[in-house]
Amino acid sequence: MSSTAPTRAVVLHAAKDLRVETLAPLAALKPGEVRVAMEVGGICGSDLHYYQDGGFGVIRLKQPMVLGHEVAGRIDALGAGVTTLAVGDRVAVSPSRPCGMCKYCQQGAQQHCLDMRFYGSAMRFPHIQGAFAQAITADARQCHMLAPGLTAAEGAMAEPLAVCLHAGRRAGPLLGRRVLITGAGPIGVLASLVARRAGAAEIVITDVADTPLVLAKKLGCDQTINVAKQPDGLQEFAKDKGSFDVMFEASGNERALTGAFDALRPGAIIVQLGIGSTFTLPINTLVAKEFELRGTFRFHEEFALAVQLMGAGLIDVKPLVTATLPFTSAVEAFELAADKTKSVKVQMTFG
Amino acid sequence: MSSTAPTRAVVLHAAKDLRVETLAPLAALKPGEVRVAMEVGGICGSDLHYYQDGGFGVIRLKQPMVLGHEVAGRIDALGAGVTTLAVGDRVAVSPSRPCGMCKYCQQGAQQHCLDMRFYGSAMRFPHIQGAFAQAITADARQCHMLAPGLTAAEGAMAEPLAVCLHAGRRAGPLLGRRVLITGAGPIGVLASLVARRAGAAEIVITDVADTPLVLAKKLGCDQTINVAKQPDGLQEFAKDKGSFDVMFEASGNERALTGAFDALRPGAIIVQLGIGSTFTLPINTLVAKEFELRGTFRFHEEFALAVQLMGAGLIDVKPLVTATLPFTSAVEAFELAADKTKSVKVQMTFG
Amino acid sequence: MSSTAPTRAVVLHAAKDLRVETLAPLAALKPGEVRVAMEVGGICGSDLHYYQDGGFGVIRLKQPMVLGHEVAGRIDALGAGVTTLAVGDRVAVSPSRPCGMCKYCQQGAQQHCLDMRFYGSAMRFPHIQGAFAQAITADARQCHMLAPGLTAAEGAMAEPLAVCLHAGRRAGPLLGRRVLITGAGPIGVLASLVARRAGAAEIVITDVADTPLVLAKKLGCDQTINVAKQPDGLQEFAKDKGSFDVMFEASGNERALTGAFDALRPGAIIVQLGIGSTFTLPINTLVAKEFELRGTFRFHEEFALAVQLMGAGLIDVKPLVTATLPFTSAVEAFELAADKTKSVKVQMTFG
Amino acid sequence: MSSTAPTRAVVLHAAKDLRVETLAPLAALKPGEVRVAMEVGGICGSDLHYYQDGGFGVIRLKQPMVLGHEVAGRIDALGAGVTTLAVGDRVAVSPSRPCGMCKYCQQGAQQHCLDMRFYGSAMRFPHIQGAFAQAITADARQCHMLAPGLTAAEGAMAEPLAVCLHAGRRAGPLLGRRVLITGAGPIGVLASLVARRAGAAEIVITDVADTPLVLAKKLGCDQTINVAKQPDGLQEFAKDKGSFDVMFEASGNERALTGAFDALRPGAIIVQLGIGSTFTLPINTLVAKEFELRGTFRFHEEFALAVQLMGAGLIDVKPLVTATLPFTSAVEAFELAADKTKSVKVQMTFG
C-alpha cells in the first residue's frame, strides 16, 4: 500500500461498540522505525475483555482505542538507519516496548518496565493504541523476521506463544514432569505445546467444552477431561498425596485452581496464567502441601524464541486457528472468538 | 525420675478441656530408643488451636491427646544399641518421625512422608500423642544433643526455629534482600531472626499489637508497624511497583497478605507460614506482578540445624520466652499464651 | 530357560582377557527378588575401559568380573511377595542398587549412596558382578516394565538414556537454549536427544569422526562439526563473548572442553559427562566468563523416566544401535564397539 | 581542593616502575558527572599483578596507566543535573561503568557488558585509567553515599566486599551450610564475612601464612588451618565422601582447589574467586562427586549492597586494613601489600 493511503483500523469506543474506522495518516518514519503493512491479527482474551466489558479489574477503557497486539505483516518502508530489515520482509511484530533504562529493564525483567508501552492496552492514559490496522509504525527492534516457510497466520501467533514460553520458563525445568493444564483455550493449548516441547512426560488438560479438548488431544495431550461432564475427573490423580508436578492454570476460574489441589503432589508448582477477579483459596492446603503459586505476565526475550521455534519446526501452532475473517467483519470475528464451543483462536486478515 | 514412677502429662479431651493426668506406665525401651526426662515444653500455635477450637480446618480432635511438640529434656535411660547418647545428656527432641522409606522420604522431602507420626497431631487416627509429659520414649535419632551452654528453654525452641529455618530456605537466598514479615508472634519473630541470620539487608515487621513489635525491634528488625494503628503504614514501600523482595506471612490473616501486595516488588516471593481457613486473593495482581506464593510446612534437617545455630551462638532465641509456668498450671499457661498482647512464647517446666 | 540350566556370562579376567564362561548356579530367589532371562545387553564406555585398560583412574580390576549394566530381558521367575511383575514381562533392569538408608539416599541423592552396589563395577571389593549373563537375579524394584511396543534392544538403552536425562537435569532448564555437545558417541548423541526433548532451540555437535556425526545430524542436531577436519569450526560462535548457553562435554577430551570456551557465552553451564585422567583448564577464563562446570554422575529416578519416555514415543533410541552380535562373540563385539569410526552403540543378544 | 589545582596520581609505566606524577588538568564536568576529592584507596590483587608482572594472563600493560579501583572520597563539585549528591558528601566510588544497552546489560549481567569501562584495567586499549589520584571525575551513579558513621577507609572496602557479595550470591543459599575457604587474603577473609552474614553454620579457612589466619579467626571463622604446616589438615573432613557444602577458592592456587576435593561432599559448589594461569584438575572426581565449579567475576548491584550492609553495621570490614600509607609512598605501600606474611589489606591516603 502507498504510504499516503488512508489506514483503516478496528477501534473500540466502549463495551460492545467496536468500529472499523479510518485513522489519521501515519507520521513520517523516524530513524530506527519501520512501517508494517499488516497481514494478519489474532484476537486475544484481553481484546475480548475490552470488547465485552470495556476492560478488566481496575483497567477500563477511557478513550477510543485501536485493539490488537497479535500481528504479523510485511515491511513496507524503512526509517533512516534500519539495516537489519528490508522492504518485503515478513515479520511478527512484538507489541512490547519497554523503556530499557528503568531498574526492571536493567535487571532483565522488561515485562515489569516502569514505562512500558504495550499495544492495545488501557493500563495507562492516554491509552497505547493497538495494531489491528492496515498499517502501523513500529520500531525495527519490534519486528522479528519469519523463517521462509512461515505464514503470516503463524507469525501472528508469536505473541500468545511467547506468553506461554514465558509461563513455561516460570515453571522451571519440565523434563519428565507430569503436567496438568486447566483451560483449553488458546493459552491452555499453547501451554500444552510448550510443556511437551520442554519435555513433559505426561500432560492432562481439562475444560468445560469438548471442542477445544478434541483439538488439545489431537495436538498431543495425553488425556483430556471435560470437568463439566466429569466433575470428579481428577480424583484418579489424588493417590499418595497427588500426582502432578506442575500445573498451568489457564482458565481464570477459581474452581479450576482449587479443584486441582488434591491432584497436585506436595511441592507442586502452579503457574497462574488466567486472570479473574478474586480467587478464594484453602490456604491451609497450600501451606501443608508446600505448593508454589506463581504468577506469569507477558514475556520479553520469549517473543524472539517463539519466532525461532516455529521457524525451526519445533512448535506447530497452525492447528489452533479455527477461523479467519476479514477485519472489516471485526464484530463478527469478536463474537465468534468469544464462543468457546466453536473457537480456539480467531484471526483477521488486513490485506 | 525412676523408670517406674508414674508419668503425668497435659492431655486435651476436647476444646477448652485440658487436664493434667497420669499416663499408663511407659513400655520397656526397644533397641534404638531412649527415655527422656522432660525439662521444658513450649506452647505452639497449633496446640492453641486444639485447645481453643478442638482442631483446625478438617483436622479435629477425636480422642484424648497429649499435646506438645516443642520439648527438651535429659536422657534418662538408653535402649539397646544406642551409642551416640549418654544418660544425663540434655537434648532437644524432634517431634518428627518420618518413615524413611516412602517416595517422599526417598526424595529428601520427609515433611511430606506418607506415614508420618508427628507428636501431638490429630492428622491421623489414632492420634499421635504429644510430648507434654514428665517423661517420654523417643527414638535416639530424634534426640539432638545441646551444646554445653544451652538451656532446656532454648532446646525447646529448636522446633519452632526449625520451622522458620525451613521457611527461610523456602524463600531462596536472602543475602541483601528487603524482607517484610507480617505477624510478630513467635513464628514471625523467629522468621526475622532467620532472615537476619541469612543476610537480609532490611527487615520490616507488622502486627496489630505493640508488645510483640517492641520485642521484634529489640531483636533487630529495622522497622515495626502496628497496622491496627497505621492501616496505611506500608504505603511508603509502594513506590516504583513495590520494595520488598521477600515476604514471610506469619499471621494467618488474609488481610495481612493482600494488604502487602502494593509493597511487594514484581517477582517477589511470599512464604506463607500462617494458617487460616480460606484466603481471598486479587489473582490479577499476583499474575501481573509475577508473585510467587509458597507454602512452607514443618521441617526435616532444619531441626539439627536449629540446635547447631543456637549452640554456636549464631541465633539467640532466649528473649522470645515471655513466661514460664509449671506444667501443673497448664490451663493458665495456655490462656496466657493465647493473649497476644502479653505473650510471645510461653513455656512450661516439667521438672 | 529352566531355573536349573547352567548360566553362561561374559567375564573379564584382565585387560584384553574377556571370556565366555559358565557361572555357578544362581541361588534360590529371596523375597522381593526376581530372575530375569536376559535378552539384550549394550556395551558401555566403562565396559570398554575395563576391557582395554583393566579399569580407569584409581578403579582397577582385582578379580574376575562379569561386565555389563545396560540390559533388558524377560521375567523368568518370581520370589515371594512380588506382585508388580509377572513371568514373561519384558523389563529393563536398572544396575543401580542404593542402600536407601544412608544420608545421601535420604536426601534423594541415591547416586552418591555410601553403600552402592552397581552392576559390573570394580569400585568396591569384592567387585559387584555385572549383568552380561543369560540369567540374573535382581530385586523387583530394579525391573521396569517396558511398554508393549518396545523391543529389548530399546530396553537395554534405558541405562545410558537415564545417564543423559540426569545430565540434562543437571543443566537446568533447556527450553530455548543454544546447546553445544562435544563428542558424538552414544552418550553425546543421547544427550542431543535429551536436549531436543527438553526444548533446546539449537544443537551443535562436534566429533573427530564422521560416522557418528552423520547419525547425529539424522537424529536432529542442527549442525555438525568434525573438529579434526575443521579445528576452527567453533569460531563462528565466538562473537559477542560467545553463543552457547549450555555445553555437554561427552568426549572426555580436555581439548574438547577448553576449545569450546570462546564459543560459550558468559554464565554458560557446562555439564561434564566424559571422563579422562586430568584436564588442564585456563582458570582465568572460567572465572572471567563465570562458567559453571558441573559434573554429572549416573542417575536415580531417571531410569524409570527413560523407560517412560521411550514407551510414550517421546524419545527414539533405536537408530543408535549400529551392530548386534551374539554374546558368544563378545570379544568381537567389544572390539567393534571400540572402533568409533564404525560404531555408535553395539549390543549383544543372550537369547 | 580547588578545581584548578594540579592532580597527582599513582601511575604504572611498566612492571616495577610505579611513579607519582601530576596529571593533565581534569576536563570540565559534563551533565551528570561529579568531581570526587579522593580520601582513601586500597591496593587490590590485580593492582599488584600489574605492578609486579605488568599484567596477568593475556592482559598486559601497553601504556602508562593510573592504577586503583577501590576508592572513597568526598564530592567536590557537581555537574549539571546532579540532584542526588551534594558537595561534601562522602562516597564510595564504583569503578564499574557498564554501557547499559548491550544484550548482557539488558539481561542484568552488567559485569559482562560488551563495552565495559572499568577503572585501572588494561583489558582494552587505550587502557581505562584508574582512581589512585587526588581527584577524579565520575558519573553520579558511580558514587554511593556512605552512612554517617562510616569512614573513608571503610568506603574504599566497598569494592572488594562487592566482589565477595557477588561470589556469595553465585554460591546460592548459604543458610546452614558448611563452608571451606582457601586463601585468607583480603578476598578470602571478606568471603568469610559474607558467608557468615549469609548464615553459614561452619566456616573453615586455610592459608600458608599465619598472620591472615589469626585475623580470620578473630573475625569469626570457626577453624583455621595452615596447610603449609599441616598438609593433611583437611583430611578430618573427608569422612563419608566429604563434609563441606560450599567452597570459596580465593588463593588462585591449583593445589588449594584440588587438595580440597576429598573434603567436599558430593554435589558441593565451588566458587572460584582466585585467578592463576592454568589449573590441572582430576576431572573424574569432579564428575563422580558432581561438583559444580563456578567462576565469579566482579559485581554489579552488589556495590550498593556493600555500602548498605556496612552502613547498617551488618558487616564490619575495618579490621582487614593492616596498614595505611600516604599515596606519595606508593611503592612502599605496594611492596608491603605484596608481603602476605605482614599484610591483609593496605590502603593509601590522598588527603
CA of C222, closest CA in chain A: separation in Å? Answer: 9
Residue contact C302–A165, C-beta within 8 A: no
The interface predicted TM-score (ipTM) is: 0.97
pLDDT tens for C288-321 read: 999 999 999 999 999 999 999 999 999 999 999 9
Vertex B90: Cα angle to B87 and B92 (nearest 5): 125
Region for residue D66 given its phi and psi (left: phi exceeds 0; alpha: psi -120 to 50; beta: otherwise): beta
Mutate to test the interface with A, among B293, B296, B299, B302 (most CBs of A within 10 A): B293
Q: A229 in helix, strand or coil?
A: coil
Decide if C209 touches D, using CB distance below 8 A: no
- Write out chain D residues lying below 8 Å of A106, CB-based: 100, 105-106, 108, 110
Which one of A99, A107, A303 would you mutate to disrupt binding with D, by most D Cβ within 10 Å of its Cβ? A107
Tell me the Ramachandran region of residue A124: left when phi exceeds 0, alpha when psi lies from -120 to 50, beta otherwise.
Answer: beta
C-alpha of D35 from chain center? 23
Contacts of B181 (CB under 8 A, 6+ apart): B188, B191, B192, B195, B203, B204, B205, B206, B221, B247, B248, B250
The three grid cell numbers given for residue C146, joined into one nine-digit string: 517396558
Chain C hits for D288, CB-CB cut-off 8 Å, are 295, 297
Percent of chain C with pLDDT over 90: 96
Task: Indicate if the pLDDT at residue B219 is higher than 80.
Answer: yes
A192-212: pLDDT as tens digits: 999 999 999 999 999 999 999
- Which of B287, B291, B296, B300 best tests the A interface by mutation, with the highest count of A CBs <10 A? B287
Nearest to A256 by CA among A217, A284, A222, A228: A228
- Residue A288 near chain B (CB below 8 Å): yes
Note the pLDDT tens digit of each residue in C154-180.
Answer: 999 999 999 999 999 999 999 999 999
| CA distance linking residue D82 with residue D33, whole number of Å | 7
Per-chain mean pLDDT for chain D: 96
As a whole number of angstroms, the distance between CA C15 and CA C65 comes to 11
Say if CB B109 and CB A267 are below 8 A apart.
yes
C112: contact with D, CB 8 A cutoff: yes
Of B175, B194, B302, which has the smallest distance from its Cβ to D169's Cβ?
Answer: B175
Residue A43 grid coordinates = 484476537
Q: Which residues of B touch D174 (CB under 8 A)?
A: 173, 175, 198-199
Compute the count of residue pairs across chains A and C with CB atoms less than 8 Å apart: 63
Q: Is C100 on the interface with B (CB under 8 A)?
A: yes
So what's the pLDDT on residue B3?
Answer: 53
pLDDT at res. A265: 98
Interface of B with A in 113-172 (CB under 8 A): 114, 170
**CB nearest to C279's CB, from D281, D288, D292:** D281
User: Is the pLDDT reported for residue C2 higher than 50?
Assistant: no
DSSP D273-304: ----S-EEEEHHHHHHTT-EEEE----STHHH
Q: DSSP label at A167?
A: H
CA distance D123 to chain B (A): 30
Number of helices (H), then strands (E), in chain A: 9, 21
Measured CA distances, A197 to A160, D192, D217, D316 (Å): 16, 43, 52, 50
Q: State whether B110 and C108 contact (CB < 8 Å).
A: no
Residue A250 has pLDDT above 50, yes or no: yes
Would you say C300 and C98 are in contact if contact means Cβ atoms under 8 Å apart?
Answer: yes
Question: Which three-class secondary structure state does DSSP give residue B19?
Answer: strand
Chain A residues touching C204 at Cβ < 8 A? none
C-alpha cell at C110: 541415591
* C-alpha grid cell, residue C222: 542442527
Most D-contacting residue of B164, B169, B175 (CB-CB within 10 A), to test interface: B175
Q: How far is D295 from chain C (nearest CA, A)?
A: 4
- Which of A81-85, C5-9, C134-138 bottoms out in mean pLDDT, i.e. has the lowest? C5-9
pLDDT at B56: 85
- Distance in angstroms between the alpha carbons of the first and the last residue of chain D: 9
**Residue C202: pLDDT over 80:** yes
Residue C54 and residue C15 in contact, taking contact as beta carbons nearer than 8 Å: yes
Question: With an 8 Å Cβ cutoff, are D281 and C278 in contact?
Answer: yes
pLDDT digits (tens, 9 = 90+) for A130-139: 999 999 999 9
Distance from CA of A305 to the nearest CA of C (A): 6
D105 interfacial to chain A (CB closer than 8 Å): yes
Q: How many CB atoms lie within 10 A of CB A137?
A: 17
Q: Mean pLDDT, to the nearest integer, of C226-230? A: 97
d(Cα C164, Cα C192) in Å, to the nearest integer?
Answer: 9
Size (chain D), residues: 351
- Partners of D110 on chain A (C-beta within 8 Å) are 106
**What is the nearest CA distance from D166 to chain A, expressed in angstroms?**
15
Give all chains having 3 or more CB-to-CB distances under 8 Å with chain B. Answer: A, C, D
For residue D149, the tally of other CB atoms under 10 A from its CB is: 9
CB-based burial label for C67 (10 Å; 0-12, 13-18, 19+): buried
Residue A309 forms contact with C (CB below 8 Å): yes
Task: List, for residues D269-318, the tens digit of each pLDDT value.
Answer: 999 999 888 999 999 999 999 999 999 999 999 999 999 999 999 999 99
Phi and psi torsions of D329, nearest 5°: -105, 40
Please tell me whether residue B311 adopts helix, strand or coil conformation. helix
pLDDT of residue A1: 43
Residue B331 CA to residue B51 CA, distance in Å, equals 9
Q: Write out chain A residues lying below 8 Å of C176, CB-based.
A: 165, 169, 302, 305, 308-309
pLDDT at B351: 83
Indicate if the pLDDT at residue B6 is higher than 90: no
Q: Give residue C5's pLDDT.
A: 73
pLDDT digits (tens, 9 = 90+) for A213-234: 999 999 999 999 999 999 999 9
The torsion angle over the Cα atoms of residues A280, A281, A284 and A287, rounded to 10 degrees, is -130
C108 touches chain B (CB under 8 A): yes
Shortest Cα–Cα distance, C195 to chain D (Å): 19
Residue C296: count of CB within 10 angstroms of its CB: 24
| Contact flag A106-D110 (C-beta cutoff 8 Å) | yes
Band of residue B5 on the pLDDT scale cut at 50, 70, 90: confident
What's the mean pLDDT in B51-68? 93
Mutate to test the interface with A, among D107, D113, D301 (most CBs of A within 10 A): D107
Residue B257: closest C-alpha in chain A: A283
Q: Which residues of C touch B106 (CB under 8 A)?
A: 100, 105-106, 108, 110
Query: Using the beta-carbon criterion (under 8 Å), do A198 and C198 form an inter-chain contact?
Result: yes
pLDDT tens figures, C328-342:
999 999 999 999 999
Interchain proximity D174–B172, CB inside 8 Å: no
Q: Is-contact D169 D302, C-beta < 8 A?
A: yes
Q: Which of D194, D198, D201, D249 is nearest to D222 (CA)?
A: D201
Tell me which residue in B240, B277, B288 faces A114 most closely, judged by beta carbons: B240
Nearest-CA distance A110 → chain C (Å): 18
Burial class (CB in 10 A: 0-12, 13-18, 19+), D13: middle
Residues of A in contact with B241 (CB under 8 A): 104, 112, 114
Best mutation site among D164, D175, D265, D308 for testing chain B: the one with the most B CBs within 10 Å? D175
Distance from CA of B55 to the nearest CA of A (A): 13
- Distance of alpha carbon B279 from alpha carbon B253, whole angstroms: 8
Which residues of B fall within a CB distance of 8 Å from D173? Answer: 169, 172-174, 198
The overall average pLDDT reported for chain B is: 96
- D147-206 pLDDT, tens digit per residue, is 999 999 999 999 999 999 999 999 999 999 999 999 999 999 999 999 999 999 999 999
Q: How far apart are CA C39 and CA C261, in angstroms?
A: 43
| D340 in Cβ contact with D211 (< 8 Å) | yes
Query: Measured between CA atoms, how close is A199 to chain C, in angstroms?
Result: 4
pLDDT value, residue D4: 59
Task: Output the DSSP codes for A151-164.
Answer: -HHHHTTHHHHHHH
Is residue B2 pLDDT above 80, yes or no?
no
Is residue D2 predicted with pLDDT exceeding 80? no
Q: Please state, for a pLDDT cut of 90, what percent of chain A lies above it.
A: 96
Contact D101/A at CB under 8 A: yes
For A25, residues 6+ apart whose C-beta sits below 8 A from its C-beta are: A4, A6, A7
CB D268 within 8 A of CB D246: yes
Location of C-alpha cell 487460616: B276
Q: Nearest by CB to A281, which of B240, B279, B294?
A: B279
B104: left (phi over 0), alpha (psi -120 to 50) or beta: alpha
At residue D305, φ and ψ (nearest 5 deg) are -65, -40
The arithmetic mean of pLDDT across residues C243-271, rounded, is 97
Beta bridge partners of C19: C11
- Give me the mean pLDDT over the B175-202 stretch: 98
Cβ pair C271, C195 in contact under 8 A:
no
**Nearest CA to A77 among A126, A4, A148?**
A4
C188-199 mean pLDDT = 98
Chains that touch A (3 or more CB pairs under 8 A): B, C, D
- CA A173, A178, A182 angle in degrees (round to 5)? 100
- pLDDT tens track for C83-103: 999 999 999 999 999 999 999
